[in-house]
């Protein structure tokens, strides 16, 4: 009997000017990489609201990767600096809530770093694969069907 | 009205029997926050001197999020699936009179031009045993809205504590009588009953006088200062046993399925009356506060003959800004 | 509070202030917010250990006066919120007349008697018993014994849990949420004209009180206040379902302190956490 091994779904938010171009370079260079990541292109990592990360988890992502230009190289000068500050705060918050930090990854990948992109994506996919499917968030989605009663039981 | 004496132990045994038969037994939680279902008969809470819970019993009949139906997309077709109505039986034990009285009041709106089957099925599956109240604080005013600490309105059976020996159990409705027949080993009668002293809240205002003023003073300057301190948090509507405004929205529960739900809403929210054009007829908090008072003490009475308030005082206790509805009505009473 | 009524009457009479936001005590001994528009109403102003509300929240809700400033009675934690609003250009310093009050702790709730050993937990962490910014300062500051560190214990307990346990803990808490948005309404720093939760096209945050929507709402609110929350704890006091919201905001406050040595609202000219960046910010978690 064939058993299907779990393949994680990774959502990657990447900045247009650096990482997306780098990923493109990895493609044109015919570098081999795993295909579990779906890229979402944003103009700059500064555009990324942590709400995007939550929505990704809500909609079934097992892991999230965020990648942008190296500090100093941002196309808009300072976008990635602001983003970096936000990520420091947001990582702690998600950790506190119980979302494992192994599911949320960040990287700086420039437009010339096709090889680095492949390495980063492979590493993230392998890490998340070891963690398993993100069932607890997915199970929050199991609202269908549900009886119309919501009775809270005394919890001591 | 039929009345029997019943001991605390008999109540415990009956509850244990019901739990075995898969009934839900619901009492006020010991921390006083809301009503919760218990898992053993040791957890019964029949303390009549406890403060009314923060959140009322309304959430069992009109939940904060209530799915109406689900829809699923199969290729190009859409399948509609009705929400499953839970047919488990419920026993509400030790409900405050100011909570129980809310059920018949809500019944009027939920059976007005449309019969709300969700509400009705929940009420039909429930037996409500009220408990006479011996708590009173400055925010209570049940006596001003035609109720009292031993009012039996809304209850099927009613318990009045008797000095250390148990309770007097009054049978109020047919449903209560049928419940007793099915589960009662309850034909104990002996001796005279001594009702415990209950503290009765002072009457804060004369309802007819207030209603008369409300009928004639919509444009009064009185309302101007009233909304100043209100933050529009709508807790007053959410904790109230009879506030019933709701919003209906569609939301997804996955990529190919969704559901339509009723969610609690409140007239104190800024967006409550905002039109799609951007115009908002109640664009400041004093107009919204005026609406709250008028709906509860005038419009609902005009339409259904019931006061949309049971005087429980939760809104005043929970209000962060300390706005006390009893005091406002007492002020109107002086005009 | 000696001096409060006199100063209030004076600034109202000489039209320096159009109205004063303060506290009054009603006939049931409950201290609540009150706006005094003239010298007669100013007689009712008071301040004591039950002045719990953070009045800074009214600065954005009451109409701006055509003439004169807005007077406000504020203790240390409230003034942090006012400073936060000034830094974010929501009010001008020149439009305010701040009556700072030396505070020695407040009670846990309006109907709980004040006990110096049982003040609100936020008082334990208070860094501003004497306010930093004010136009006039009244009241005597008394030292009081620090209350038990219940919040610190709770935080340590949660930090020690595994991710599974943390998630289960928060799922149970967020199941109680009724999405009343009271936490947002009472927060002085939640002043957005259109909150992200109110945006319906597209809908970012589910409005039903299902656990999924409650997670998103509470995480987003905690994050939008990261580095901006002043720890006044009104959100937790307002919550009807008793969810320990202060833990989330405290976690963000602790992170801000640890990583950036930052506390919001201490001085008007202090550069804000979220509005600035440093070239040397930590990046060892970034590949």
Strands C45-46 and C17-25: antiparallel
Mean residue pLDDT across chain A? 85
| Nearest Cα to Cα of residue A97 among C164, C241, C257 | C164
Distance CA B91, CA B320 (A): 33
- Tell me: do C102 and C214 sit in the same domain: no
- pLDDT for position B183: 77
Element housing B215 (H / E):
helix B207-216
Contact yes or no for C241/B55 (Cβ under 8 A): yes
B236 contact residues in C (CB cutoff 8 A):
none
- Alpha carbon of A139: minimum distance to chain B alpha carbons (Å): 11
CA B288 vs CA B201, B227, B280, B284, B294: distances in Å: 28, 7, 11, 7, 10
Q: Which residues contact B45 (CB under 8 A, 6 or more apart)?
A: B27, B28, B29, B30, B94
Strand partners, B143: none
Domain boundaries, chain B: 3-333
Q: How far is B68 from chain A (nearest CA, A)?
A: 8
Name the DSSP letter for residue C268. T
**DSSP string spanning C178-231?**
----HHHHH-TT---SS-GGG-BTTB-S--S--HHHHHHHHHHHHHHTTTT---
Contacts of A89 in chain C (CB under 8 A): 223, 226-227, 252, 255-256, 259
Query: In this structure, how many other beta carbons lie within 10 angstroms of the beta carbon of residue B71?
Result: 17
For chain C, say whether A112 makes contact (Cβ under 8 Å).
no
Q: What is the pLDDT of residue C112?
A: 82
Question: What is the pTM for the complete model shown?
Answer: 0.87
pLDDT for the residue numbered A136? 80
**Between the CA of residue A53 and those of A58, A59, C57, C203, what are the distances in Å?**
9, 10, 30, 15
Prediction ipTM score: 0.85
- The Cα–Cα gap between B145 and A9 comes to 59
Confidence of residue A152 (pLDDT cuts 50, 70, 90): very low
**pLDDT-flagged residues of chain B (< 70):** 1, 164-165, 184-198, 253-255
Indicate whether C134 and C8 sit together in one domain.
yes
Give the ranges where chain C is alpha helix by DSSP (H): 4-13, 39-42, 76-87, 121-124, 150-159, 163-175, 182-186, 211-224, 234-238, 245-260
Q: Mutation test of the interface with chain A: which of C223, C252, C261, C271, choosing the one with the most A Cβ atoms within 10 A?
A: C223
Which member of A141, A149, A154 has the closest CB to residue B253? A141
The stretches in chain C having pLDDT less than 70 are 127-128, 144-148
Residue of C nearest to B272 (CA): C198
- Contact (CB<8Å) A54/C215: yes
Degrees (nearest 5) of the Cα angle A77, A78, A81?
140
C242/B264 CB distance under 8 A: no
CB contact under 8 A, B84 and A152: no
CB proximity B36 to A under 8 Å? yes
CA atoms of C33 and C22, how far apart (whole Å): 6
Question: How many angstroms separate the CA of residue A138 from the nearest CA in chain B?
Answer: 10
CA distance B285 to B262: 25
Collect all residues with Cβ–Cβ distance below 8 Å to C71 and sequence separation of at least 6. Answer: C8, C11, C12, C17, C19, C20, C21, C22, C96, C97, C98, C99
Q: DSSP state, B142?
A: G
Q: A149 to chain B: nearest residue by CA? A: B86
| Residue C88 located in a structural domain | yes
Does residue C248 lie in a domain region? yes
Which residue of chain A comes nearest to B69, CA vs CA?
A: A145
B34 CB near a chain A CB, below 8 Å? yes
B36 and A143 within 8 Å at the Cβ level: the answer is no
pLDDT digits (tens, 9 = 90+) for A1-28: 455 688 999 999 999 999 999 999 999 9
Instruction: Kindly determine whether residue B54 and residue C242, on different chains, have CB atoms separated by under 8 Å.
Output: yes
Residue C62 in any domain: the answer is yes
Those residues whose C-beta lies under 8 Å from the C-beta of residue C176, and which sit 6 or more positions away, are A152, C241, C242, C243
Q: Which residue in A141, A146, A151 is closest to B24 by CB distance? A: A151
C-alpha–C-alpha distance, residues B51 and B28, integer Å: 10
Q: How far apart are CA B191 and CA B77, in angstroms?
A: 70
Distance CA B168, CA B186 (A): 11
Tens-digit pLDDT profile for residues C86-110: 999 999 999 999 999 888 788 888 7
Q: What is the pLDDT of residue C213?
A: 84
Cβ of residue B249 closer than 8 Å to a chain A Cβ:
no
Residue B196's pLDDT is 54
- At residue A100, the pLDDT reads 87
| Among B265, B281, B146, B137, CA closest to B199 | B137
Q: What is the 3-state secondary structure (H, E, C) of chain A?
A: CCCCCCCCCEEEEEECCCHHHHHHHHHHCCCCCCCCEEEEEECCHHHCCHHHHHHHHHCCCCEEEEEECCCCCCCCCCHHHHHHHHHHHHHHHHHHHCCCHHHEEEEECCCCCHHHHHHHHHHHHHHHHHHCCCHHHHHHCCCCCCCCCCCCECCC
Residues C16 and C133 in one domain: yes
Residue A145 lies in a domain: no
Beta-carbon contacts of residue C259 (< 8 Å; ≥ 6 apart) = A88, A89, C282
Task: Decide if B69 contacts A148 (C-beta within 8 A).
Answer: no
Domain count, chain C: 2
**What's the pLDDT tens digit per position in A59-85?**
889 999 999 999 999 999 999 999 999
Q: How many residues does chain B have?
A: 335
Assign A150 a pLDDT band (cuts: 50, 70, 90). Answer: very low
Q: Is residue C286 part of a domain?
A: no
Whether A47 is in a domain gets the answer: yes
Strand ranges (E), chain B: 3-6, 24-28, 35-37, 65-74, 77-82, 90-95, 126-131, 157-162, 166-171, 246-252, 257-264
Please give the angle made by the CA atoms of A138, A140 and A142, to the nearest 5 degrees: 85
Please check whether residue B80 is in contact with residue B74, taking contact to mean a CB–CB distance below 8 angstroms.
no
Q: CATH no. for residue A90?
A: 3.40.50
- Which chain C residues touch A106 with a CB distance below 8 Å? 285-287
Quickly count: other Cβ atoms within 10 Å of residue A9's Cβ. 18
**Cβ–Cβ below 8 Å for C32 and B263:** no
> Of C34, C208, C241, which has the smallest distance from its Cβ to B261's Cβ?
C208
Contact B65 C26 (CB under 8 A): no
Question: Which residue segment(s) compose the domain that A22 sits in?
Answer: 10-140
Domain presence at residue A114: yes
- Residues C161, C113 share a domain: no
Separation of first and last alpha carbons in chain C: 57
Phi and psi, residue B227, nearest 5°:
-90, 0
> Judging by DSSP bridges, how do beta strands B126-131 and B90-95 pair with one another?
parallel
The predicted structure's pLDDT at residue A4? 66
Predicted confidence at residue C175, as pLDDT, reads 84
Beta bridge partners of C200: C203
- Whole-angstrom CA distances from C83 to B280, C11, C34, C96, C270 are 32, 22, 21, 11, 10
Indicate the residue among C138, C160, C179 that finishes a domain: C138
Give the residue numbers spanning the domain of C120. 4-138
Give C-chain residues touching A151 at CB under 8 angstroms.
none
B54 contacts chain C (CB < 8 A): yes
Contact assignment for B33 to C207 by CB distance below 8 Å: no
Distance of alpha carbon B318 from alpha carbon C121, whole angstroms: 20
Return the residue in A137, A139, A154, A156 with the most chain B beta carbons within 10 A, the one to mutate for interface testing.
Answer: A154
CB contact A93 to C (< 8 Å): yes
Residue B69 confidence (pLDDT):
87
Asked whether residue A149 is domain-assigned, the answer is: no
Beta-carbon separation of B254 and A144 below 8 A: yes
Is a pLDDT exceeding 80 seen at residue A147? Answer: no
- Measured CA to CA, the distance from residue B62 to residue B117 in angstroms comes to 11
Residues of C in contact with A105 (CB under 8 A): 287
Of B54, B320, B322, which has the smallest distance from its Cβ to C237's Cβ? Answer: B320
Are C131 and C56 in contact, with CB atoms under 8 Å apart?
A: no
* Chain A CA closest to residue C166: A98
CA distance B101 to chain C (A): 22
Same domain flag for C18 and C103:
yes
Q: How many domains does chain A have?
A: 1
Quick one: which H or E segment has residue C33? Answer: strand C31-36
Place of tokens 């109640």: B282
Tell me if A144 and B38 make a contact (CB, 8 A cut-off). no
φ/ψ (deg, to 5) at B206: -95, 115
Distance of CA B65 to the CA centre of its chain: 16
Subunits next to C (3 or more Cβ pairs <8 Å) are A, B
For residue C240, give the nearest of B232, B238, B321 by CB distance: B238
Q: Is residue C175 part of a domain?
A: yes
Q: From its phi and psi, is residue A27 left (phi > 0), alpha (psi between -120 and 50) or beta?
A: alpha
Chain C's closest residue to B66, CA to CA, is C208
Contact C61 B318 (CB under 8 A): no
Is the CB of A58 inside 8 Å of chain C's CB atoms? Answer: yes
**Alpha carbon of A150: minimum distance to chain C alpha carbons (Å):** 10
Is C186 in contact with B247 (Cβ distance < 8 A)? no
Q: B321, C198: Cβ pair inside 8 Å?
A: no
């Amino acid at each position: 009997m064939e058993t299907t091994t779990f393949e994680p779904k990774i959502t990657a938010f990447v900045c247009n000017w650096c990482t997306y171009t780098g990923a493109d370079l990895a493609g044109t260079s015919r570098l081999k990489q795993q295909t579990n990541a779906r890229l979402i292109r944003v103009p700059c990592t500064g555009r990324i609201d942590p709400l995007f990360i939550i929505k990704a988890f809500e909609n079934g992502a097992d892991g999230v990767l965020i990648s942008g230009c190296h500090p100093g190289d941002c196309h808009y000068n300072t976008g990635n600096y602001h983003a970096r500050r936000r990520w420091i705060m947001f990582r702690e918050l998600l950790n506190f809530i119980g979302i494992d930090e192994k599911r949320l990854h960040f990287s700086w990948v420039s437009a010339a770093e096709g090889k680095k992109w492949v390495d980063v994506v492979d590493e993230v996919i392998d890490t998340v694969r070891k963690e398993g499917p993100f069932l607890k968030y997915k199970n929050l989605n199991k609202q269908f069907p549900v009886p119309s009663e919501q009775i809270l039981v005394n919890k001591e | 009205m039929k009345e029997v004496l019943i001991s605390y132990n008999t109540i415990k045994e009956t509850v244990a029997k019901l739990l075995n038969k898969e009934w839900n037994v619901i009492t006020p939680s010991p921390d006083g926050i809301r009503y919760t279902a218990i898992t053993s008969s040791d957890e019964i809470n029949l303390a009549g001197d406890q403060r009314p819970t923060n959140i009322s019993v309304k959430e069992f009949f009109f939940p904060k999020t209530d799915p109406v139906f689900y829809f699923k997309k199969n290729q190009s077709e859409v399948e509609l699936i009705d929400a499953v109505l839970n047919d488990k039986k419920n026993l509400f034990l030790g409900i405050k009179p100011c909570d129980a009285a809310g059920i018949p009041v809500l019944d009027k709106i939920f059976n007005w031009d449309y019969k709300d089957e969700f509400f009705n099925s929940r009420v039909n599956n429930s037996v409500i045993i009220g408990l006479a109240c011996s708590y009173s604080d400055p925010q209570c005013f049940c006596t001003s809205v035609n109720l009292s600490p031993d009012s039996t309105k809304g209850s099927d059976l009613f318990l009045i504590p008797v000095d250390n020996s148990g309770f007097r159990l009054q049978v109020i409705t047919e449903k209560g009588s049928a419940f007793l027949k099915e589960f009662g080993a309850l034909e104990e009668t002996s001796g005279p009953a001594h009702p415990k002293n209950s503290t009765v809240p002072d009457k804060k205002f004369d309802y007819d006088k207030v209603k008369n003023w409300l009928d004639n003073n919509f444009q009064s300057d009185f309302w101007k200062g009233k909304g100043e301190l209100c933050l529009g948090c709508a807790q007053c509507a959410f904790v109230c046993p009879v506030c019933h405004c709701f919003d209906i929205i569609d939301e997804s529960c996955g990529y190919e399925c969704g559901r339509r739900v009723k969610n609690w809403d409140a007239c104190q929210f800024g967006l409550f009356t905002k039109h799609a054009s951007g115009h908002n007829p109640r664009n400041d908090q004093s107009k919204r506060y005026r609406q709250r008072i008028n709906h509860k003490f005038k419009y609902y009475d005009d339409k259904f003959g019931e006061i949309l308030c049971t005087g429980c005082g939760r809104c005043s206790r929970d209000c962060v800004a300390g706005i006390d509805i009893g005091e406002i009505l007492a002020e109107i009473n002086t005009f | 509070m000696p001096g409060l009524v006199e100063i209030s009457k004076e600034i109202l009479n000489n039209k320096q202030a159009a109205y004063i936001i303060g506290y009054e005590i009603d006939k049931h001994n409950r201290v609540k917010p009150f706006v005094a528009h003239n010298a007669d109403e100013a007689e009712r102003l008071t301040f004591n250990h039950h002045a719990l509300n953070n009045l800074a929240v009214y600065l954005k809700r009451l109409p701006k006066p055509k003439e004169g400033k807005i007077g406000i009675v504020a203790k240390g934690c409230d003034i942090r919120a006012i400073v936060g609003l000034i830094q974010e250009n929501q009010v001008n310093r020149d439009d305010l007349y701040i009556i700072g009050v030396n505070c020695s702790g407040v009670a846990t709730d309006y109907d709980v008697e004040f006990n110096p050993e049982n003040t609100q937990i936020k008082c334990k962490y208070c860094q501003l018993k004497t306010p930093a910014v004010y136009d006039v300062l009244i009241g005597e500051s008394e030292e009081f014994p620090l209350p038990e560190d219940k919040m610190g214990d709770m935080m340590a307990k949660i930090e020690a849990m595994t991710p599974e346990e943390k998630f289960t803990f928060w799922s149970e808490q967020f199941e109680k949420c009724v999405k009343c948005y009271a936490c947002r309404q009472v927060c002085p720093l939640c002043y957005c004209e259109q909150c992200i939760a109110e945006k319906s096209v597209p809908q970012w945050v589910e409005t039903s009180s299902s656990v999924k929507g409650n997670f998103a709402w509470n995480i987003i609110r905690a994050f939008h206040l990261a580095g901006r929350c002043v720890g006044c704890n009104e959100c937790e006091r307002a919550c009807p379902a008793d969810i320990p919201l202060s833990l989330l905001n405290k976690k963000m406050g602790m992170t801000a302190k640890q990583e950036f040595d930052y506390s919001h609202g201490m001085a008007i000219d202090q550069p804000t956490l979220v509005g600035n960046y440093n070239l040397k910010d930590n990046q060892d978690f970034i590949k």
